[in-house]
Amino acid sequence: MNTEFAPIFKLGRAERLQLVEDIWDSLVVEGNPDPVSDSKRDELRCRKEQYSQNPASGIAWTDVKQRARSLHA
């Protein structure tokens, strides 16, 4: 644990939850400072095109979540 933030972990559960909500709200207000780069956008387009040509190559989101959960079970 980062000792700089240790006092935060001493807060009560409700206070920590409120802190998380406040931080999240501040991120929403700031907007998206990190837009998707052109190279990442190109990769997403390529993957979308590949999926369009062969939908069976994809994995359903429910299957992805189930696999992830089983790794941590």
Q: How confident is the model at residue 1 (pLDDT cuts 50, 70, 90)?
A: low
Measured distance CA(10)–CA(13) in Å, rounded: 9
Cβ(57)–Cβ(50) below 8 Å: yes
Residue 8 — φ and ψ, nearest 5°?
A: -65, -40
Provide the token pair at 73. 């079970």
Short-list 29, 23, 31, 25, CA closest to 5? 23
pLDDT at 2 over 70: yes
pLDDT at 64 over 90: yes
Q: State pLDDT tens for residues 53-62.
A: 998 888 889 9
Domain boundaries, the chain: 1-34, 36-73
pLDDT in tens, 38-53: 999 999 999 999 999 9
For the stretch 25-38, pLDDT in tens is 998 888 777 788 99
Give how far Cα 17 sits from Cα of 7, 31, 38, 50, 69, Å: 14, 22, 36, 41, 24
